[in-house]
Structure 1
Amino acid sequence: MAKCRLQYPHQPLHKYHQKGDLIIGGIASQSFIISNSIAFTEEPPQALPEEFVIESSSDTECNSNFSVVPKNYQQILALIFAVKEINENSHILPNLTLGFQIYDSYFNAKRTCHATMLLMSTIEKFVPNYTYDIQKNLIAVIGGLDSQTSIHVANVLDIYKIPQLIYSPVPVMNDKTPGLPFHQLVPTENLQYKGIVSLLLHFGWTWIGVIVMDNSNGERFVQTVFPMFSQNGVCFAFIERIPTLTFVTDVKNVLEEGAKIHDKLLGSTANVLVVNGESYSFTFFRWLPYLTEQELITTTLKGKVWIATAQLVVTSFVFQRTWDMKIFQGALTITIHSNNIENFHRFLESRSPSSAAGDGFIAEFWQNAFACVFPMRFQGQAQGNICTGEEKLESLPGTFFEMSMTGHSYSIYNAVYTVAHTLCKISKSRMRHRAMVGGGGLKLQKQPSWQLHHFLRSVSFNNSAGDEVSFDQKGELIAGFDIINWIVFPNQSFQRVKVGRIDPQASPGHAFTINEDAITWHSWFNKVQPLSLCTESCHPGSSKQLKEGEPFCCYDCIPCPEGKIADQNDMGDCYECTDENYPNKRKNLCIPKDVSFLSFEEPMGIFSAVFSLSFSSISALVLALFVKYRNTPIIKANNQDLSYTLLISLLLCFLCALLFIGHPQKVTCLLRQSAFGIIFTVAVSCVLAKTITVVLAFIATKPGSRLRKWVGRRLANSIVLFCSFIQAKICIMWLAFSPPFPDVDKHSTYGEIVLECNEGSVAMFYCVLGYMGFLAMASFTVAFLARKLPGSFNEAKFITFSMMVFCSVWFSFVPTYLSTKGKYMVTVEIFCILASSAGLLGCIFSPKCYIILLRPELNNREQVMLRKC
């Protein structure tokens, strides 16, 4: 099996320098060269000290250039442009020029430390701690782009207390040991993560995938955002880790892992991917559409919304020049805030290999970016397109070079100006104390490096774009992030569109802003805002029920139980309406309850009032009839005083029903049950007295009976008064200790607020009913026993029928009353009052009225005294 060897370059460090009174050092991540060439050999040579081998399934030669196009070259140009502007501006550092030295880190610890030591040497050779030229005094270092590079630089600079300004989010530095001399030209990482959370919540994306590099920074990112996202209701469908390609990595295994990740993304229901990585990670993400578990073929990754952190840089390998980028269409990236810098575009247009003396980066960049070669760089015959040097940077695709200043370049531009304004501040401070040094020169070249930290921390200025540059107490830039939308064109070029802002200095509620209309989504979503949910939203009227063993974003939707509602999507639980409201049929809205009571305006109230008045009128007519014919035998034969009392009590019973109709008031609540109880007791007592009178009258008619003296009005009146007195005493005790009162029942009847009279003491209420029932049963029993007594004057049979009606009505009243609610309870009681009263009126008095009005011939003494066997 053939083996493919990737060789690490052995050329010297790329360098760019410019002399000045003070030197700004730069550690650039200009290129990430794995190998200048790849060649297959049968066995790897043993002479190369650093190498790794790709197992290959074929003997095909591999001549592809495996270099990352040095897109970060714009960051070098941003530093050069800033130094050029400052040196041409006499107002910032008069009589002083800035120089710079830039070295490539190669993303390698040894090379980075070597380059850092070279920055501090005043000669071209590596001689640590040796200084002989005050015109090349290192004042500060800018870099690096990735966290590991910044750490390596900081560890060396800490020895000499030289300030370091880094221009990328580096989470590994957040828990740095005190003393590492650096300042961040980017906002805090937490602000970026909070912005991502706000972005996810704004669009309702709660089911996401996370892709990170398989290193300490990737693990730190996961450990940081996982609790933050979970607390805000965002779940992780998966967390994939991209293997880090190193010089000891098996590339075949890396590609196999990439294929698994590709298939995981393709099959996941999560439409949103949050991506974090190093600056060069984008080159690995571009492989995803070309990987499957089976073979390396070009496939189409279905539409996803990529949300990338500010660390990622859109860059490519040289061989990825024509690769499809449409999978990133509609991506949203959190980027370091940048602004348009005047004349920077013109400066880039004027850049060419012929006008860049001392630039050790431009030739490498030019060849890789334009796919050409400079003949003078080869000893033999050059192969391929010849570089003319007249190529235009604006013709390059965006993955190779951008003409607009990127966020990282903007940070470098601000970093250079930060150093310049710091030196200006030191200069002004020394001028105030010039007398103490005898009026000598400023001699900023001899300024101790450690003293710059204090001035750096307190520096504040507005750059040429109008943005304020200042640091907080932690040495982090006080600024925000931009939210950028990618628009990818068919020719693989792309456009960045600013669609939002994360501004910590904005007023509360406006720290996160987004313009949805300005966003272009992936064509797979058909111009509709993407959804990314484990479960479709639970609509109002239902609540979420978590699935066992699944993340909390995955749930079932269950309808709300009776009496509860859910008026929003994805509610965790249904809730009850207030007492004044009740759920609608869909259980998604609380609607006001109707106020309910038996009123005179509704049909039941009208019918009850009509019947009440009708029967009371009939009672009054019967009473008038009895008064008119009071001297007739039929009236006299049956104790006319009891008849009058009974008719009056029945009249009042019918009218008493009116107290139960209408809005419950305190007076009506106090009177209606007690008045009804007492009046009805008088009526039943009269019936009982009549029954006893009939029995005693029959017995007293026997010769020699001693009961004759008891037959008369005194006994009847005593019975009525005694029985009524007991009921009155019960009612007085009821009103004294637990009287009825107006009340509001909000729960018994669905959808209604019932205005009612609370009986106060239910026991007393049933005592009143029970006592009336006792009297009725006594009357019924006596009347039933006396129903067959002879004589036309015998009322026992009529009383028996009336008591049967009375008892039937009131025995059915109790279960019916207890099974009804609201105004229907009142209706039941009114019906019982009218029905039982009508039964007494009809059964007892209708025969007499019939005789008086229709059969007057029977209304004589002979007929009344006639006995029947």
Structure 2
Amino acid sequence: METGGENEIWPDGGVMHGGTLGPISSPCTSATEFRFENFQLFQALRFALEEINKNAEILPNITLGFRAYDTCSLLQYDLEGALQMLTGLDRHIPNYRCLTGVPLSSIIGSSISANSALLASVLGIYKFPQISHFSASAILSDHIRFPSFFRTVPSDIFQSKGLAHLVVYFRWTWVGLVAADNDYGQLGVQLLLQEIVKAGACVAFSENILTSYPDRNAPHIVKTIKTSTAKVVIVYGTSLDLVPILNEMAKQNVTGKVLVANAGWSTSTVVSSEKFSALLSGTIGLAIQSGTIPGLKQFLNTINPSMSLGRAWTKIFWELTFNCRFISDKNETGSLDTNVKECSGSENLESLQNAYNDVSHLRPTYGMYTAVLVLANALRDLNNCKKGEGPFSKRLCNLLTIIFFSVLQLLYYIKNVRFRLNSGKEVYFDENGDPPAVYDIVNWQLSPSGDIKFVKVGSYDMAAPPGNIFTMNTSSIRWSSGETQVPMSVCSQRCQPGFWKAARRGEPVCCYDCVPCPQGEISNQTDSFTCIKCPWDMWPNPEKSSCLPKPIEYLSYEEPLGTTLACTSTISSLVPVIILKLFVHFKVTPIVKANNYSLSCLLLLSLSFCFLCSLMFIGSPKSENCLVRQAAFGMVFSLCVSCILAKTIMVVFAFMATKPDSNLKKWTSPWVSYMIISICLLLQLILCITWLSLEAPFPEQNIETQPRLIILQCNEGSPTAFWCMLGYLGLLATISFVVAFLARRLPDSFNEAKYITFSMLAFLSVWVSYIPASLSSQGKYTVAMEVFAILASSWAIVLCMFVPKCFIILFRPSMNSREYVMKKGQNMK
């Protein structure tokens, strides 16, 4: 007997009828086609009926009976059996009901969805109830096409969602699909494809098992599986569809693939044999929720070949189970081996453990048991209807009696049936004739003996609260070779934080390249589609996975460069003061008098301030610092260069005033030098005041120059004003240089012109070099460059103008005497 056998249940007015079996002589009634699981189904039907008939609370004084047909899982036998039961004779006559006596209440079956759909089309014409215990095709949920069809297993609509959820849970984004080319496989795989794409995964390939081909197209399918980069393959079909594929996989030595099973074969013992254990170890899939039936195991072990009910099937079962044969009757299994022992009929079933008496995880059997209870409870509700309280027209109940009732009335009660099983599970049907969708998640694991075990590792329950619909015990899963780590099946490796997924042209969305985030952007999640720009005051870490506060940069006193420049500036500022003290001490000496003592003192003071003004450029930029530092620098250096210019001009005037009839003698007065200094300072002062009045410098946070840093700096307000101020200094220095260069050979004992020439040449060289250096430097180094230019130009003046004089004063006092001056003057003449 196959799972697809139709079973007829009808009420009988107080008489218990034994089951009538037929047609036993069908071509599939042989040892090669005999399945222990299906024989268990038949016995579960008997057990359920005995339970119901013994329970006086369900149908008192009414006995249920049945007729069972072996359809060999063939469509023509399914249809023939259904029509024969409808006809009520030993032959089928379409459109005729010749049944007399007890009424036919419903048909249970088939387990094959395609067969159930055909039967439901025929039975739906008569509104005759049909309950399937294993047909799961989504097409059967169309209650307009199949108004009298019900089932005790969930629709594949929910199974497809569950399989897609399974794929997402294990983060498989690159999967292959293999499905049978019948309605069950094609509709199921279409629903699955929709759910997979909706979940964000991709299909690497989709192949059909061609049931009309002798080899089922297995070579091509297996070649595709073997060459594909997808490690996970979902097979949507039945165990019979899968066998040719597994044979070919073993032949081509396909390894490293994980098969995902739909409910059609996820717990099938047909493919879980030792032959395929290496291929199927680690398989995971959805299975119809298992259940237990108290007392069934004891009932299964009570059968024996002497029973008249289903004797032919029992004998085949007995011979296969105990590896014996019956001598007195026809040998049912056809064994010709004379060494096989004779069956006595008294062998003990309890000593064996096989697919027949294994009741630990009942699935199709539990569906069959539930289907019988559904029918019994519907008949009970129909029988218990009270006159005047019925659901039909004019609140009527059954128009006839429980012995002769309308199938339309029974159909109403089946639609509205609601009861609880011993396990606590509630049984009812929705508007499509489907029960609540509940699945077990099973994992195929190798036992120490080498057998395959179906281990429940989770559940998928659409009736559960939202957070508990999908539950999984990952630690109990064993993949191929006993591994516990989830295998990867992706077209492209996951993009780590710091990268984003760039789709490949012409390929599925699951195939992409991991591209680093652009500068200034991050991705803080795995498989990010875009990168996020960091806030203006933050910058990505080296991995570009998070934003960190940007370092704040300025020329600080605490850092080595700032400390060095500050110390140099301070120490350098003391040098002009020391020289000034030296000049004051030796102010009566010829060398000091000859070089304009008062201007030299003013110049030395201004040089000391030049060194000190560089300190205003070091440290955190503040509003007051930014406002005055460039102006102070300009004014101090203007004073310094103005003094040098005045000294140079006074040297020229002094030489020219010695000529006869010269009118320049009055221009050698000290007030002339002070006037020159004042005019030069006044022009710079006007420029600085205008600058500060119109576009004053201010502190700012610069993030443009170096995006990784926040540079605290002074915005000069008007770059034009800054370069004008600096250009004015250059103009004064240039004039001083030109005048001093022209006067370098004037006869004088202590002619300063040549020293001024060298000092201005060095001064101009420093500031001309500063211009490209400042434009090429960034951040604090721009400030450091200006400080260095200030120090260098100041030292150039000190070294070129005052060091030679100090050397004479300290180490050549003979040259600093009136006699030396007079002698040198005579030689010049």
Matches within 5 A, 1:312-391: 312=265, 314-315=267-268, 323-355=275-307, 357=309, 362=314, 378=330, 383-384=335-336, 388-390=344-346
**Unaligned 5+ runs, structure 2:** none
Structure 2 partner of 1:302: 255
Q: Select the residue among 131, 141, 149 that pairs with 1:182.
A: 149
Other structure's SS at 1:307 match: strand
Structure 1 partner of 2:120: 154
Q: Are 1:209 and 2:176 matched, yes or no?
A: yes
Amino acid aligned to 2:236: N
Structure 1 partner of 2:437: 479
Q: Are 1:239 and 2:206 matched, yes or no?
A: yes
Moved more, 835-844 or 746-755: 746-755
Q: Select the residue among 390, 393, 403 that pairs with 2:359.
A: 403
Q: 1:213 to 1:788 in 2, by over 3 A?
A: same
**Preserved CA contact (<8 Å) 2:610 2:636:** yes
Structure 2 partner of 1:278: 238
Q: Are 1:415 and 2:365 matched, yes or no?
A: no
Report Cα offsets for 1:776-816 as digits up to 9, x if no partner.
22332232222222223532222222222222222222222
CA deviation after TM superposition for structure 1 residue 307, in Å:
0.9
**Preserved CA contact (<8 Å) 1:214 1:244:** yes
Other structure's SS at 2:775 match: helix
CA deviation after TM superposition for structure 1 residue 474, in Å:
4.5
Structure 1 partner of 2:459: 501
Report Cα offsets for 1:393-415 as digits up to 9, x if no partner.
67888677743343333333333
**Preserved CA contact (<8 Å) 2:398 2:409:** no
Q: 1:630 to 1:833 in 2, by over 3 A?
A: same
Amino acid aligned to 1:337: Q
Amino acid aligned to 1:111: Y
CA deviation after TM superposition for structure 1 residue 143, in Å:
2.9
Other structure's SS at 2:240 match: coil
Other structure's SS at 2:177 match: strand
Q: 1:330 to 1:195 in 2, by over 3 A?
A: same
Q: Are 1:287 and 2:247 matched, yes or no?
A: yes
CA deviation after TM superposition for structure 1 residue 121, in Å:
4.6
Q: 1:474 to 1:780 in 2, by over 3 A?
A: farther
Percent identity reads 38
Distance 2:663 2:161 in 1: 107
Report Cα offsets for 1:508-545 as digits up to 9, x if no partner.
5553332232122222x766543434566667777767
Structure 2 partner of 1:669: 626
Report Cα offsets for 1:556-595 as digits up to 9, x if no partner.
6777777777777766677776666656667777666544
Other structure's SS at 1:653 match: helix
Q: 1:218 to 1:188 in 2, by over 3 A?
A: closer
Structure 2 partner of 1:57: none
Structure 2 partner of 1:295: none
Report Cα offsets for 1:848-868 as digits up to 9, x if no partner.
444454555655678779755
**Preserved CA contact (<8 Å) 2:150 2:434:** yes
Structure 2 partner of 1:73: 39
**Preserved CA contact (<8 Å) 2:274 2:452:** no
Other structure's SS at 1:130 match: coil
Structure 2 partner of 1:813: 770
Q: 1:588 to 1:13 in 2, by over 3 A?
A: closer
Q: Select the residue among 164, 167, 190 that pairs with 1:223.
A: 190
Report Cα offsets for 1:67-93 as digits up to 9, x if no partner.
363633333444443443344444455
CA deviation after TM superposition for structure 1 residue 842, in Å:
2.7
**Preserved CA contact (<8 Å) 1:273 1:304:** yes
CA deviation after TM superposition for structure 1 residue 291, in Å:
4.3
Amino acid aligned to 1:347: F
Structure 2 partner of 1:517: 475
Q: 1:130 to 1:223 in 2, by over 3 A?
A: closer
Amino acid aligned to 1:651: S
Q: 1:438 to 1:115 in 2, by over 3 A?
A: closer
Amino acid aligned to 1:606: T
Report Cα offsets for 1:406-432 as digits up to 9, x if no partner.
333333333333444455556676477
Residue correspondences, number: 812
Distance 1:33 1:656 in 2: 114
Distance 1:32 1:699 in 2: 147
**Preserved CA contact (<8 Å) 1:348 1:403:** no
Q: 1:282 to 1:774 in 2, by over 3 A?
A: same
Aligned alpha-carbon RMSD (Å): 4.5
Report Cα offsets for 1:754-797 as digits up to 9, x if no partner.
33334444444333333333332233223222222222353222
**Preserved CA contact (<8 Å) 1:742 1:755:** yes
CA deviation after TM superposition for structure 1 residue 308, in Å:
0.4
Structure 1 partner of 2:617: 660
Moved more, 375-384 or 822-831: 375-384
Other structure's SS at 1:838 match: helix
Other structure's SS at 2:621 match: coil
**Preserved CA contact (<8 Å) 1:68 1:315:** no
Q: 1:450 to 1:836 in 2, by over 3 A?
A: farther
CA deviation after TM superposition for structure 1 residue 607, in Å:
0.9
Report Cα offsets for 1:354-413 as digits up to 9, x if no partner.
457267755565566666665677499964455555566678886777433433333333
Distance 1:423 1:611 in 2: 108
**Preserved CA contact (<8 Å) 1:541 1:587:** yes
Other structure's SS at 1:71 match: helix
Other structure's SS at 1:500 match: strand
Other structure's SS at 1:755 match: strand
Distance 2:773 2:599 in 1: 32
Q: Are 1:311 and 2:311 matched, yes or no?
A: no
**Preserved CA contact (<8 Å) 2:8 2:104:** no
CA deviation after TM superposition for structure 1 residue 244, in Å:
0.6
Q: 1:651 to 1:492 in 2, by over 3 A?
A: closer
Other structure's SS at 2:699 match: strand
Distance 2:642 2:385 in 1: 114
Q: Select the residue among 554, 569, 574 that pairs with 1:597.
A: 554
**Preserved CA contact (<8 Å) 1:543 1:566:** yes
Q: TM-score, normalised by structure 2?
A: 0.83
**Unaligned 5+ runs, structure 1:** 1-8, 38-64, 293-299
Report Cα offsets for 1:580-628 as digits up to 9, x if no partner.
6656667777666544332222211211111111112223333444455
CA deviation after TM superposition for structure 1 residue 484, in Å:
0.6
Other structure's SS at 2:713 match: strand
**Preserved CA contact (<8 Å) 1:21 1:137:** no
Q: 1:382 to 1:650 in 2, by over 3 A?
A: closer
Q: Are 1:464 and 2:422 matched, yes or no?
A: yes
Structure 2 partner of 1:44: none
Distance 1:734 1:21 in 2: 117
Q: Are 1:683 and 2:640 matched, yes or no?
A: yes
Other structure's SS at 1:811 match: helix
Structure 2 partner of 1:59: none
Structure 2 partner of 1:193: 160
Amino acid aligned to 1:307: V
**Preserved CA contact (<8 Å) 2:556 2:618:** yes
Q: 1:173 to 1:833 in 2, by over 3 A?
A: farther
Distance 1:188 1:176 in 2: 12
**Preserved CA contact (<8 Å) 1:168 1:408:** no
Other structure's SS at 1:72 match: helix
Distance 2:663 2:418 in 1: 126
Q: 1:806 to 1:447 in 2, by over 3 A?
A: farther
CA deviation after TM superposition for structure 1 residue 498, in Å:
0.6
CA deviation after TM superposition for structure 1 residue 94, in Å:
5.0
